[in-house]
Structure 1
Amino acid sequence: MSDDTSIRLLGISGSPRKKSTDYIVNEALRYAHEKYGAEIEYFSASGKNMKFCIHCDYCVRKKEGCIHKDDLVELYDKMLWADAWIIGTPVYQGTLSAQTKTIIDRCRAVVARDPKAFMNKVGAATAVGGDRIGGQEPAIQAIINFYVISEMIPVGGGSFGSNLGGTFWSKDKGAEGVAEDSEGIRSLHRTINKLMKTAITMKNIR
């Protein structure tokens, strides 16, 4: 049941598969719900019809959202609903997946209509790679850049183990691999603790 004190948390998986990234984003939501009573929503890129931003400027000229009427319309509503977001991506070629990049690129349609739409929402990121050091931090940094540009408040997990966010090594074993990565789980939980505490602080200020 919704109330004025609970935090609305949106989890976004930018993976075309429902494997390791799906697992870690849902673990973040589970942890936030159980520890902080967060209201949670989830969006997975898997199986979704999502067209690339084509820089047609329809959103800027019309201020009616995106020219593409695809499955991202559902996500826009969830983004506006949420107080805080956690975006998860698999690492592709040392950075974001194409699906994650498409999601953040297409947010231009929301801020073209209302430049302050995402202002002061709190954002965190998590990334999973097949190698222990395979591009997780550059992928997270790209998501943090998006938060800064959107006038959101980016958070990491703090020093000593989760500086920029949750980082996972799947060993190319999918959900089983990340579930076995105790350091990854620890970094994710530290990140969610910071995310939730910051979101609570912001809500109290408002």
Structure 2
Amino acid sequence: MEKILSDKKAIFLFVFPAFLVFLVIVLLPIFFSFYYSLLKWDGFSKGVFIGLQNYKNLFINNTDGFIISVKNSFILAILSVFIQLPISLLLALILSRGIKGEKFYRTVYFIPVILSTVVIGQLWMKIYNPNYGLLNFILAKIGLQSLTNQWLGNTKTALGAVFVPILWQYIGYHMLLMYASAKSIPTDIYEAAKIDGATESQIAFRITIPLMKRY
């Protein structure tokens, strides 16, 4: 191993193909994107170099909603951490305890992860449709007609309506990772805890969650 690491030609031979792929796929697009950002260009006609004017327009007196989009992105990230992950953890803890139908529920929760984003987008657009959407239909049928809304067309509800499909799509992914970690914990530990009289909540917070970091 030391002989190979000291051979610079061997190192170059093994590293260069990966570096070439990284250069073509990652680095070059970054540089080209930065260069295009310095142009006044519609993507078809010849670009005109305008320096940092695009960035000035972006951050100073911007009226295109850039600042709002950044804020909404942070909100979605925060919601994902404080809502999506706790729900995923709860489902993982429940399934890892060997409930009836464990394999069925595990599969059902993971199905949205393997669906195409385009399919999910079209599905939820139909659900949110103000005229024939499933959500408004259910609200109307249970006597909550006043709550029906144009979910994606209302600035007050659009962000929440966008977050729900994200939550629905990726909750199974995080759940499966946590579930696999919880299932890898030796059962002897749980048996010893039950003999000592530990409750399910104590087992979850004092055994499963701490040991998930290790397994």
- Which TM bucket (shorter chain)? under 0.3
**TM-score normalised to structure 1 length:** 0.23
Which structure is larger by alpha-carbon Rg, 1 or 2?
2
Q: Which has the higher contact order (CA 8 A, sep 6+)?
A: 1
Tell me which protein shows more strand as a share of its residues: 1
